[in-house]
Amino acid sequence: MFFHGGTNSRRLDDYLDFSANTSPLGVHKAASRALLALSLNPDIIAAYPDPNCTELKESLAKYWKFDGPILCGSGAADITQLISMVFGKNVQGTAFNLIVEPAFSEYENALLMACSEEKILHLTLEKKNDFVFTEDDFQHLEKILSGGVPLMFMASPSNPAGNVMPLDMIVRIARLCEKSDTVLVLDSCFCQFSETAEKNVRALIERADEFPHLIILNAFTKFYGMAGLRLGYALCFSSSVYNPLVNAMRPWTISTDAQVTGSAVMQAEIESNSWHRQMLKLVTEERKYLSDYFESIGAKVLRGEGNYILVQLDETLQKTALDYASGTEHAKDKKGHNGPKKQSLVNEEDSSPNPFKAPLCQALAMSKIVIRGCSDFYGMDLSWYRISIKAHEENVQLVKALNKIFKK
């Protein structure tokens, strides 16, 4: 079973959701205006959408200064699935498809549709290194690629750690992949939250001719607050990776409203960087605010460079959260009420592993707040939590709820 942030909170009323890493500024203003204009002129959706996404691709190419082929899809997860079905199938002999972990579960989910579980290899980074890709990991990767790897997924910033891989390391990995004809997918869906990560993407674009097997993945989901519209894209560094993908796509994948809205957002971003400035300022300040708080109670914090932080609680903090969730610490506040709860964060009858059953997840649920337990990520257990960055007022509510739990 695969879990995602934002899934549980959709069925719960009045919950404050810190489990999904979406835009803390809400929906991009240009997207709101474009959707309003579409609602006033609904006849536009009577015709089939442009199968080539011409206007959208032109605006993306201009924004990224990229002259290679661009593939658009119904969200980054849709493109991940397409890439897996095209390049990750029919794995033979000593070859494996590879995922650098811990990582977004949809890489594995997509690969499972293309190959057997035995043909998926997980290069899991070590928690003692804060899940940073090290020289030892590079040497391990070199050995793995020598056995044959048709397809490899990695992310920068990574999810859930938020680590940004240095450009020189990305380049070294990309060169290794070229030697073994490995299609390398660099998931950069969070790169615009990090000046360094975005610069790395732009630097790779300038050297596109060196890496024909490279695909850079991005989406409008996170930075522009458009998760519900489903719009993603892939910068393909050669026609040899683009053509098989576009030939395997289902027709009219991207709706007219998604294309029009995405084009409007890209055009606004080309004309002004005000959204970009606001977002980076907010995320930087609020990441520090939440990180400082968790460190003040003795938690381990990986601040990363995405719009989230990764937190680990020690045994004492875990027990405190568990006691609070089970009622030991707040029984006096119940005032004798022991009737059935109207809503539940998890299905108690479901015996399958569920990261949202982690102690702090359940403790915060008492205050109607949802965070992302990370026990389903490779290399992590119930002590790890991912908390998204939201607007300051919402982050203050989270800290107040945490103060109740940890008596701070």
pLDDT in tens, 1-35: 444 555 554 555 678 999 999 999 999 999 999 99
What is the side-by-side order of every strand in the sheet holding 384-388?
300-302, 308-312, 384-388, 372-373
Do residues 228 and 255 make contact, with C-beta atoms less than 8 angstroms apart? Answer: no
Q: What's the alpha-carbon Rg for the chain, to the nearest Å?
A: 22
With 60 as the cut, is the pLDDT of residue 338 above it?
A: no
pLDDT at position 61 is: 98
- How far is it, in rounded angstroms, from Cα 87 to Cα 229? 27
pLDDT at position 2 is: 47
Sequence ranges of the chain with CATH classification 3.90.1150.10: 8-21+275-334+344-406
Q: What is the DSSP string of 220-257?
A: STTTSS-TTT--EEEEESSHHHHHHHHHHSPTT-S-HH
Do residues 307 and 389 make contact, with C-beta atoms less than 8 angstroms apart? Answer: yes
Domain 29-271 CATH assignment equals 3.30.565.10: no
Sequence ranges of the chain with CATH classification 3.40.640.10: 29-271
With 80 as the cut, is the pLDDT of residue 307 above it?
A: yes
- In CATH terms, 8-21+275-334+344-406 corresponds, of 3.40.50.800, 3.40.50.1370, 3.40.120.10, 3.90.1150.10, to 3.90.1150.10
Do residues 401 and 369 make contact, with C-beta atoms less than 8 angstroms apart? Answer: yes
With 60 as the cut, is the pLDDT of residue 346 above it?
A: no
pLDDT at position 13 is: 65
pLDDT tens-digit series, residues 70-124: 999 999 999 999 999 999 998 989 999 999 999 999 999 999 999 999 999 999 9
With 80 as the cut, is the pLDDT of residue 341 above it?
A: no
With 60 as the cut, is the pLDDT of residue 352 above it?
A: no
- pLDDT-derived band at 328 (thresholds 50, 70, 90) equals low
pLDDT tens-digit series, residues 126-172: 999 999 999 999 999 999 999 999 999 999 999 999 999 999 999 99
- How far is it, in rounded angstroms, from Cα 220 to Cα 165? 22
Using DSSP's 3-state secondary structure scheme, residue 263 falls into: helix
pLDDT at position 137 is: 98
